[in-house]
A and B are shown apart, each in its own frame.
Chain A
């Protein structure tokens, strides 16, 4: 007959072993799938972008938008209300509505400004996404989309104050001029946006728009005081889109 004391001892030891094994196996599992190998990768703690709007003319804008949209298989829908945009132009006064002053320079009002996802530090789209299809990457602060998980509720489109998100109301494939076989397309019912070219950054290449901008656009690490972008931000007066909303956008414009 087992005594009460023995029973408690055995029960205690079994419980301890069980907890220990569960902890070890979950540790092994987590360790197996992630590598710490950072070779080939562009590294930053907080990505940001600097855009010098004075250096960008009409040809530059077209070239930059084409470079982005052709690489990422962005469809070109006929109906402008269904347009899918990763990077596009907005009139100055629509991009920066709080800048509308009494004596604002007239040439500024309709000046086309290149706009894209701001990779906010406090992104409302991430907060409202019910499936975590949109998430903020811990490693470098990029606001990204996992298209596999998006089920098209469009809360993020309501949440984003910059209109940086587009919805595929139709199957986009027939509307893509030339499909880039190195990047996926999307399906009907999925939201998409600028991805800060994470697929290039993770392989050591700067974003496509920056590459073709002839130096008018610069990306870099905002957390590093010695980075090129921080030096530019120190030297120039820049503004951000709708900073009063508290989203902490990370795209800076020199006007």
Chain B
């Protein structure tokens, strides 16, 4: 191989560069995100279940929110009936945030962990700081 010294050094520098995120984090302990469900409204609920079962909400809440957004703002549909016939008003601020009033410890707990920005709060109103727990 011609210039093997330069090539090998080049490969080593390249690998060191692309693997930077891995070795910089060796030994760093990151806590598992624990979204907090402890708000006064949730505590007072009789049936402590969201509009869909928790595992579905965890995986596909953005699909539901996107659907709710279209229903409310484009089609004027404000009634959501769950599978067990509970009724909810379709509204992020008045329904979702009513229970999940702790945006810092509910939304951001996971979203910060996986580094996915939440654009909702650029317009939608976050509940008052003092009601957060």
Residues of A that sit less than 8 Å from B by CB: 33-35, 37, 39-41, 73, 135, 137, 139-140, 144, 146-148, 179-187, 190, 198-199, 201-203
Contact = CB atoms under 8 A, between A and B. Distances in A.
Given A33-B67, A181-B127, A187 B73 contact: no
B66 to A, nearest CB: 9
What is the interface of chain A mostly: helix, strand, loop, or mixed? Answer: loop
Interface string B53-82: 000000000000001011111111111110
Given A35-B79, A202-B78, A203-B78, A185 B123 contact: yes
Contacts of B81: 35, 37
Interface of B: 67, 69-81, 89, 92-94, 122-125, 127-128
A186 B77 contact: no
Contacts of A187: 122-123
A135 B125 CA distance: 24
Given A181-B125, A185-B123, A203-B89, A139 B76 contact: yes
Given A39-B79, A185-B123, A187-B122, A148 B73 contact: yes
Contacts of B93: 181-184
Nearest to A142: B76
A92 to B, nearest CB: 34
The 6 nearest A-B residue pairs measured at CB: A202-B76, A187-B122, A184-B123, A184-B124, A146-B73, A202-B78
A147 B71 contact: no
A137 B76 contact: yes
